[in-house]
Amino acid sequence: MLEARAVSLRQPAYLERVSAALPEGALSVILGPNGAGKSTLLHLLGGAIRPLSGAIWLDQQPLPALSAAQLAQHRALVEQQPARPAGMAVATLLTIGVAGSNPGARQQAIDYTCIHDLLQRDCATLSGGELARVHLARALHQLLASPAAARYLLLDEPTAALDIGAANLQLSSLRQIARQHGIGVIAVLHDVNLAVQHADHVLLLKNGTAMACGSAEQVLQLPMLQALYESPLRELRDASGCRAFIATQA
């Protein structure tokens, strides 16, 4: 379990006593309007930012008790705008954060993200979507090669550079990874409907406070989402029970 226990922060974003428990082996999604503090919360969970008060707990240990190297065995993070290091081959990028070699983990990471054709390319020549996949593969490699039991993959808007089909595919494979390897995947998303389709667990963040945190069916309800985005929404449902939310005119 990766837990935020009453974390507060003023800079770079305002967060007020946010508590949330994010399980392993499931896809958790953080939703909220622009400026709610989603990315900041993700970096708090990753340990790059220290809270003003409260603490992040990983597997019954507070984060500051772990060294940078230990932390890297438990969690990996893909930033919203990942770096594009000129002159670095994709194959080299994949090795960053992985001590030693673990061909099995490497191959799995490559297979999940379908980057076989990109391995010899220079990172500077990749398209936005390719770059996102390559960084996801790097983070996956870091976790799959780790001997730790509790592992979390933190993703800051992983679908931002992807079209609707690619985004859908990516989230379903992320969910599959979470189940197969017992990894907790935690993704900040903007698209409510991707969360409706794929999330096991949802945290709603508004103005720096946790509005709701729980199973996707519980949390992703029309009144809650309308309050979250302060926007009139409609819920659509087809015969198979598939749901979607669209914004309507005010």
Based on the shown chain and the rule CB under 8 A, indicate whether residue 65 belongs to the binding site for another protein. Answer: no
For the CB of residue 176, give the shortest distance to another protein in the complex, in Å.
23
Based on the shown chain and the rule CB under 8 A, indicate whether residue 76 belongs to the binding site for another protein. Answer: yes
Which of the stretches 22-30, 86-94, 159-167, 230-238 binds another protein when contact is defined by CB under 8 A? 86-94
Based on the shown chain and the rule CB under 8 A, indicate whether residue 83 belongs to the binding site for another protein. Answer: yes
Q: Which residues pair with 104 in a beta bridge?
A: none
Looking at the Cβ atoms of 154 and 196, the one nearer to another protein is 154
Joined together, the tokens standing for residue 132 give 């996102």
CA contacts within 13 A on the Cβ side of 48: 14
Distance CA(238)–CA(143), nearest Å, equals 38
Sign of CA dihedral 170, 175, 177, 180: negative
Looking at the Cβ atoms of 89 and 160, the one nearer to another protein is 89
Distance CA(76)–CA(91), nearest Å, equals 18
Distances 83 to 71, 123, 157 between C-alpha atoms, Å: 21, 9, 15
- 26-45: contacts with another protein (CB under 8 A): 43
Kindly tell me which residue out of 12, 62, 64, 85 binds another protein, with binding defined by CB under 8 A. Answer: 85
Looking at the Cβ atoms of 134 and 225, the one nearer to another protein is 134
For the CB of residue 51, give the shortest distance to another protein in the complex, in Å.
16
> How many other CB atoms are found less than 10 A from the CB of residue 4?
23
Kindly tell me which residue out of 15, 36, 72, 202 binds another protein, with binding defined by CB under 8 A. Answer: 72
Q: Where are any strands of DSSP class E within 35-137?
A: 53-58, 61-62, 75-78
Contact set with another protein (CB under 8 A): 43, 46-48, 67-69, 71-73, 75-77, 79, 82-83, 85-89, 92-93, 96-97, 99, 142
